[in-house]
Structure 1
């Protein structure tokens, strides 16, 4: 039996939401302000929750970004009064699995928002209790996020453990830390001593120690040098330039294990002179990160040509500085690792990817013509979709290619767009004949190319449901 019109509409709606949930974080983009982004994204969440709740929950098993994952969790817990018990249990498994992947500060923010709207039912308390029990170091969390942990524990009326890692002292630390004298839990005792002993603060998490350093009047240079062993990799990255400004060379970014897209963002933030001076180090790190991301697929994609956008619109915004260009750079290195033969074509015509910066118009049509001349098996286009040199040429080239020159689809063409278009409630598409998927991190590229096939119009709602069911089963460990 064929797909009904309602099924086709549902399929398009689900794909539209997934693209938005992968790319948008509700922040300003080059072509849209923050208010428009948030308004558009909030509407999509409300629409999906009201019309396709089961598919909306299943999106938690996909590569949606943390911002949208937190919104989905919050909405599922707030609006659950009419949901059957079996669906609530299935949603609970998805929510619990996703919360374990989210940064703890985001999880705590979700539960604080639930407190503000008065949600405190048995399911919510059970999910919070399970998440807190799964944390590897509850004493560390209590010290680093003390205010948020105290608030959600009080709201959910959680019974705190009387033994375990915190030796039954978690409640005393959260609600009366200065009354009971010494703590047996080392992290709590270190926090207590840091109030009057400078040496103790260097055994605390960086963000907590920073406040104590200011209280004790410790010079910034001295503090950064001594706290460096306690910093996470991302904290070192964020503070590297700060440390250099204070001549605290001990704080240095460790590039060896950094994720590919974050590493590309770091590279593009460096001045061009620094990139030239550190060319070997940066190139080696980018290629190593790409090989890790490619995994067993390395060298398996055959002949690949990429059209990569480095036009002025890849500047992004003040909140997402050079993010589109960083995604394109990361995709470039990943595609090089995936392909057996690889040809990169930047829209500006530049060939030294290490010295890229946002510049010029977007002659996507011309670059796509050049790409098709290389006879690839796969053509991957990474662009925000704003084709303006001349406008519309890319869409016409792709239409003619697909309908006249390659109707048998010998060349697999995929457009990956890192920017959410708030006006269209989707990522901007180049042509109806080419599948488009949103992308936030290049590491998700292989999965997104697979997901993009649903956007070609040859797969229906049944195929999408089967794909989501398989991803949910794998994500929750029920397969």
Structure 2
């Protein structure tokens, strides 16, 4: 039997994991950015000091990029607090997590480490190995020039670019006027774009934008010519502005991540959603099927209570993010279930037209869902049950303690909003597990993690779960590293 300290430790770690999944230090609907950052900083310090191995192990979980970068920074800043074995494990976890983070965030992390004066041997080695593994050094030099320069200075990197004259990468970053031309096409395109308009269309979209403005090129003409150089995400971001300018930018919804696609759909006017119903619904269902994979249709009878109340508006920094998570979860649960019953708090039946509206009658919708006796009930909400207040918690208590004490219906609450005041995500009831959620893609793993939040499992079981996740995470990272090495070797040979 678990001791009381172990149960408390398990609760502390789960509290941190829920925060690391949902919190980004930005304003939420009910709390400001300063409150969010203060609350999150305290949690990071508390868990790092008291449970350092578990703090590092959380890098293998489905936490968001903001908190992953914070954990890496805190571990490197306090390397002296770790044992030799802990440092070795942390180094592997950090390298594996950095390989998954977007390049701009990693470069921001490196600048933060430089500003904080963190320049130990392990930090320099981590920076060196990450930069060396980048697939296209010239692209990084052009697209993330300031970040790469800062990393090179901080870690004393021996910059070598592609081609026989590898030293030109260092010249490009630190002495671009030293050369009249570069042998690497992308580097030379950047040089020529300063005075030659046609050259900017050989550059990445985000870099070309600045040159287009400097040359006074009209937005419509620029978007039409740069379209072939844009990534799928860049096309999505500029689609609506391109349409306003009368520019043709092809839509590419196939292959989009589910939650990002849901955010895009919610950003469209309702009339556009109606006009493009078949296209948008097909893309969302295809993304959900990809996410479900082999689990599609295996969850039996599923009911979902989905929050589309006014609070899902989010904030200026996280506009409609809670609603986007709920919409993405809706389509994923539809794919996972054998039979599926969605219940939106607003009472609407058309998920594609979801928009933030009205109060949050969670209790009524939970009652409606339980009447159908599902095998699984998934509640996606910020937990502010207010119509009437507290009804959902009371319904769930009576259901679990009196009507379904053996747990024939599995109930889990997924919350996309961090509550800065309580240092965690808001719970609906002590008898129902709650887990933080940011991306619907993580839903199956979070449903498994949520069982630890019921208060009946202790630190040993949680540690075993984390150890298994760490093992899988590092194995996947090593396999991906081998694949990257093979691709680079084949590319050099070709």
Q: Tell me the TM-score normalised to structure 1 length.
A: 0.98
Task: String of CA shifts for 1:189-247, please: whole Å, max 9, x gaps.
Answer: 11111111111110101111111111211111111110111111111111111111211
- SS of the aligned residue for 1:307 comes to strand
Cα 1:370/1:215, change in 2 over 3 Å: same
Partner of 1:269: 267
Give matches, 1:244-393, under 5 Å.
Answer: 244-249=243-248, 251-393=249-391
Quote the offset at 1:18 in angstroms.
0.4
Q: Equivalents in 2 of 1:200, 1:463: separation in Å? A: 58
Task: String of CA shifts for 1:364-406, please: whole Å, max 9, x gaps.
Answer: 1111111011110000000000000100100000000000111
Matched, 1:410 2:400: no
Matched, 1:439 2:425: no
- SS of the aligned residue for 1:331 comes to helix
Q: Equivalents in 2 of 1:63, 1:465: separation in Å? A: 16
Partner of 2:487: none
Partner of 2:91: 92
Quote the offset at 1:164 in angstroms.
5.5
Q: Equivalents in 2 of 1:163, 1:327: separation in Å? A: 41
Q: Equivalents in 2 of 1:90, 1:331: separation in Å? A: 34
Quote the offset at 1:162 in angstroms.
6.7
Note the residue ranges of structure 1 that are not aligned, 5 or more in a row. Answer: none
Q: Equivalents in 2 of 1:76, 1:468: separation in Å? A: 18
* Equivalent pair of 1:100/1:131 in contact (CA under 8 Å): yes
Give matches, 1:179-190, under 5 Å.
Answer: 179-190=178-189
Q: Equivalents in 1 of 2:163, 2:372: separation in Å? A: 62
* Equivalent pair of 1:138/1:166 in contact (CA under 8 Å): no
Task: String of CA shifts for 1:453-474, please: whole Å, max 9, x gaps.
Answer: 0011221100110010011111
Matched, 1:178 2:177: yes
Note the residue ranges of structure 2 that are not aligned, 5 or more in a row. Answer: 480-494
* Equivalent pair of 1:165/1:185 in contact (CA under 8 Å): no
Give matches, 1:28-47, under 5 Å.
Answer: 28-47=27-46
Partner of 1:224: 223
Matched, 1:135 2:130: no
Q: Equivalents in 2 of 1:159, 1:197: separation in Å? A: 31
Quote the offset at 1:166 in angstroms.
7.2
* Equivalent pair of 1:187/1:204 in contact (CA under 8 Å): yes
Q: Equivalents in 2 of 1:257, 1:291: separation in Å? A: 11
Q: Equivalents in 1 of 2:377, 2:85: separation in Å? A: 43
Q: Equivalents in 1 of 2:181, 2:426: separation in Å? A: 59
Structure 1 vs Structure 2 CA RMSD: 1.3
- SS of the aligned residue for 1:178 comes to helix
* Equivalent pair of 2:163/2:184 in contact (CA under 8 Å): no
Task: String of CA shifts for 1:303-350, please: whole Å, max 9, x gaps.
Answer: 000011111111111111111111111100000000001011111111
